[in-house]
Amino acid sequence: MSEKIVHMALFKEEELEEVGEALDVLRGMGVPEHDISVISGVPFSEKMLGRPMSWTRVPYIAMVGAVIGFLTAAFFNFGTPTLYPIKVGGMAIQTIPTSIVLQFELTMLGLLISTFIGVFVETISPSYGPKGYDARITDGQIGVLFEADADLDPALHKSLTGLGAEMVHGTEAKKLWVL
């Protein structure tokens, strides 16, 4: 197997359709999806570029936080009065209408805190795709960064420049800020 080289193709921001076509060309030439990164100054959704949806663990973390908040509220509403009953003038020890407010508030508090923690954890988690940057991306261009075999270099260059890309070869990519 030949050596893999990091390549970058730069497109103008107006050429968003060509970026989607370039991703199809890369997939057709055997570059796996996890070896392709799209970098731009403007956030584009996966659907606009024809990429598979990226999944995150934030909803699962948020649901765990909501369940913890719900159980905490249930303990405060029903566990505490059971452990320390105080009889006051013939009133019930546990009242449902007043417990609903605390139940809702603590469930939502657990959901919000765990969502914040989940987003923070996802942000600091490492990504395993190719990494790099070019200063022209800040000026409005869209970069398609990918890792491919060195023997595919001429075919990739021909295909992507035909779509309007300013191609940066692996040898030129060493001048880039590659992380």
Q: Where are the domains of the chain?
A: 4-55+128-173, 59-124
Residues 137-171: tens digit of each pLDDT: 777 788 888 887 777 777 888 888 888 777 666 64
pLDDT digits (tens, 9 = 90+) for 7-17: 888 888 777 77
Q: Which residues contact 27 (CB under 8 A, 6 or more apart)?
A: 33, 36
CATH C-level class of 4-55+128-173: alpha beta
pTM metric for this prediction: 0.61
Task: Give Cα separations from 102 to 71, 97, 108, 110, 112 (angstroms).
Answer: 11, 10, 10, 12, 15
